Amino acid sequence: MTAVTIELNGVKITDDVEPRQSLADFLRDSCGLTATHLGCEHGACGACTVVLDGKATRSCLTLAVMCDGRSVQTLEGLRIDPVMEMLRRLFHENHALQCGFCTPGMLIMARDILRRHSRPDIATVQHELSGQICRCTGYANIVKAIVAAGHEIANVATSEE
């Protein structure tokens, strides 16, 4: 076992991990943070996407031991994030989820897309979302919700100027 200190959703925690433990398993099994879902466990589906040092990250492709001294944000930690609040509302309004399994990864990735692109168009969102798999919705409504969020953020920014 190796001791790691991680800033998890803004709180410093110290815990012992086995070097072979993935960040995803650490979050779910050791920390009880089960918003992070595990689908494929080899980087193809995107359900386990979290934020590591500000960057979208596959928690199934990351070893917990390598996160020592770093900061990790999961969906639980983004409850009062303004962009995430907007995304939750727009996912609801646009019917951007059905079973909900992929949704945590979708939301994390959507927020990441909106941080890197202002007012992304459909093609940009589709390309950026290609690493997230959804088996229910056919993606159209997820893309619609993210495009709508991009417009809303841009409009808020303009009205505040």
Partner 1 sequence: MKPAPFDYVRPKSVAEASVALGRRGASTAAIAGGQSLVPMLALRVALPEILVDISRLEDLKIVTRTPDSVWLGALTTHAAIEDGETPDVFNGLMRRVAGQISYRAVRNHGTIGGSVALADPAADWPACLLALGTSLRVVGRNGVRVQSIDDFLKGAYETTLITGDIIMGFDIPSPPRSFRWGFAKVARKSGAFAHSLAVAVAAAKDSSVRVVLGAAGARPRSLVATASQLEIPNSTEEQIRAAITADLNAYFTDLDDYQKRMHTANVLRAARNMRAQ
For partner 1, the binding residues (CB under 8 A) are 2, 18-22, 25, 41-43, 46, 49, 52, 55-58, 60-63, 65-66, 109, 112, 127-128, 130-132
- Is the Cβ of residue 63 or residue 84 nearer to partner 1 in the bound state? 63
Short-list 135, 117, 136, CA closest to 127: 117
Rounded least distance, CB 160 to partner 1, Å: 27
Number of C-beta neighbours around residue 97 at 10 A: 19
Rounded least distance, CB 49 to partner 1, Å: 5
Report the C-alpha gap between 149 and 128 in whole angstroms. 15
Report the C-alpha gap between 54 and 61 in whole angstroms. 16
- Is the Cβ of residue 83 or residue 89 nearer to partner 1 in the bound state? 83
Rounded least distance, CB 90 to partner 1, Å: 20
Short-list 2, 116, 23, CA closest to 70: 23
- Is the Cβ of residue 62 or residue 94 nearer to partner 1 in the bound state? 62
* Six-digit token string for 146: 């993210």
* Six-digit token string for 153: 């953020």
Rounded least distance, CB 86 to partner 1, Å: 20
